[in-house]
Amino acid sequence: MTDRNLLERAAAAMANSYSPYSRFPVGAAIECADGSVFTGCNIENCALGSTICAERVAVGNAVSQGHTDFVRIAIISKGTNYCVPCGQCRQVLMEFAPNLEVLCARGDGRYVSYNLKNLLASPFTNANMD
Ligand code: THU
């Protein structure tokens, strides 16, 4: 699957965003080593702290279907800035895939690519619990 294909899957998920409070829809599509793809959108709540980001919905979709071997994620919004994952999502992604490729797109479809390791320096991992 090309980067562009994965971004299209994220954009399709963004169409289902429930974001009446921020009016900032986000979509995510996470790809596994076997090529399978799981998507998510942000789901907001009137109790604002109960909002879930698109990336964590995608991870939840994947994990609940038995997939944790992530290789790449595409994230897209309609904004003028690249949609990078928030700190909480970086931590959740780090749990499964320190080397994850992270494609961050903006509304016009342009995107930048990061390695998760560079987005979350000195992470707390399960090794820190030894
Ligand atoms: N949001 C995401 O879905 N992913 C991110 O990484 C950044 C923020 C959502 C949460 C909220 O619904 C809206 O964007 C504004 O913060």
Give the closest residue to 56 by CA, choosing from 35, 82, 75, 33: 75
Does the domain at 3-118 match CATH 3.40.140.10? Answer given as yes
pLDDT tens digits for 47-60? Answer: 999 999 999 999 99
Ligand 1 first shell, C-beta below 6 A: 19, 22, 24, 26, 42, 44, 51, 53-55, 85-86, 89
| Predicted structure pTM score | 0.97
Confidence of residue 75 (pLDDT cuts 50, 70, 90): very high
List the catalytic residues. 55
